[in-house]
Amino acid sequence: MFIQRLLICAAVVLCVLTCLTTISANTTTTTIRPHIDTDDNEYYHRRYNSGRRNCDTEQIEYRLTKLEVQLGEKSAHLTSELREGNRRLQALEIQSAEVQTSVEGFRNEMSRIANFGQTVPANYYQQAGVDKMESKISNLVKGMQLVVATLRSLNSDVTWIKKNISSITNATDTLLHKYNDLTTKQFLSNSLIDVKHNQLYPPIPPNIFREPDTSNLSHLPRNCKNVQENGNNVSGIYLIQPHQSHSPFMVLCDMDTKDGGWTYIHNRYDGSQDFFNNWHDYKIGFGNIGGEFWLGLEHIYQLTGHEVNELLVELVDADGDKAYAHYAAFSIGSEQEGYALKVLGGYNGDAGDSLIYHAGSRFSTKDFDQDSWVEGNCAQAHSGAWWYRGCDTSNLNGKYLSGPLPDDFLYQGMYWAEFRGAQYSLSQARMMIRPRGPNSPPIFPEGLFSKGN
In whole angstroms, give the CA distance from residue 264 to residue 311.
10
Stretch that binds Ca ion, among 149-157, 169-177, 327-335, 362-370 (CB under 5 A): 362-370
Between 326 and 366, name the residue whose CB sits nearer to Ca ion. 366
CA pair distance 281, 299, nearest whole angstrom = 12
Q: Which is nearer to Ca ion, 190 or 273 (CB)?
A: 190
Strand-pairing partners, residue 344, are 330
Judged by CB under 5 A, the chain residues 75 through 104 that form the site for Ca ion are none
Scanning residues 386 to 415, which ones bind Ca ion (CB under 5 A)? none
Q: Which residues contact 410 (CB under 8 A, 6 or more apart)?
A: 422, 423
Residue 362 CB, shortest distance to Ca ion, in Å, is 10
The nearer residue to Ca ion, 244 or 372, going by C-beta atoms, is 372
Contact predicate 286/231, CB 8 Å = no
Q: CB-based contacts of 442: which residues, under 8 Å, 6+ apart? A: 328, 346
Candidate ranges 92-100, 162-170, 246-254, 371-379; the one touching Ca ion (CB under 5 A): 371-379
Q: Based on CB atoms, which residue is closest to Ca ion, 228 or 364? A: 364
- H or E element at residue 327: strand 322-332
CB 427 within 8 A of CB 317: yes
Smallest gap from Cβ 450 to Ca ion, in A, equals: 41
Count of residues interacting with Ca ion (CB under 5 A): 3
Choose which of 369, 389, 397, 420 interacts with Ca ion (CB under 5 A). 369
Q: Whole-number minimum distance, CB 319 to Ca ion, in Å? A: 35
Please pick, from the candidates 58, 371, 392, 418, the single residue that binds Ca ion as defined by CB under 5 A. Answer: 371
The residue among 105 and 384 lying less far from Ca ion, judged by its C-beta, is 384
Q: Which is nearer to Ca ion, 232 or 380 (CB)?
A: 380
Q: Give the shortest CB-268-to-Ca ion separation in angstroms.
A: 25
To the nearest whole angstrom, how small is the minimum distance from the Cβ of residue 375 to Ca ion? 7
373 touches Ca ion by CB under 5 A: yes
Reference 237, options 219, 246, 249; nearest CA is: 249
* CA 392 to the chain's CA centroid: 28
* Of 151-159, 221-229, 265-273, 373-381: span binding Ca ion (CB under 5 A): 373-381
> In the complex, what is the shortest distance from the CB of residue 243 to Ca ion, in angstroms, rounded to a whole number?
35
**In this chain, which stretch among 41-49, 167-175, 372-380, 411-419 interacts with Ca ion, using CB under 5 A?**
372-380
CB of 377 to Ca ion, least distance (A): 5
CB of 186 to Ca ion, least distance (A): 11
Is residue 338 a contact partner of residue 150, using CB atoms and an 8 Å limit?
Answer: no
The region of 267-275, 327-335, 364-372, 442-450 touching Ca ion under the rule CB under 5 A is 364-372
Complex with Ca ion: residue 314 or 369, whichever CB lies closer: 369
Decide whether 120 or 374 has the Cβ nearer to Ca ion: 374
Element (H, E) at 46: helix 38-50
Give the bridge partners for 236, in sequence order. Answer: 253
Q: At what angle do helices 130-179 and 56-119 cross, to 10 degrees?
A: 80
Nearer to Ca ion, 61 or 369 (CB): 369
Nearest Cα neighbor of 12 from 43, 77, 56 is: 56
The least CB distance from residue 300 to Ca ion, in Å, is 22
In one-letter notation, the amino acid at residue 444 is F
Residue with Cβ nearer Ca ion (324 or 373): 373
Dist. CA 326–CA 223, nearest whole Å: 19
Q: Identify residues 291-320 at the interface with Ca ion (CB under 5 A).
A: none
Q: How do beta strands 341-349 and 322-332 pair?
A: antiparallel
Residue 130's SS3 state is helix
Q: Of 338, 340, 342, 344, which Cα lies nearest the Cα of 310?
A: 344
404 strand-pairing partners: 424
Q: Binding residues for Ca ion, per CB under 5 A?
A: 369, 371, 373
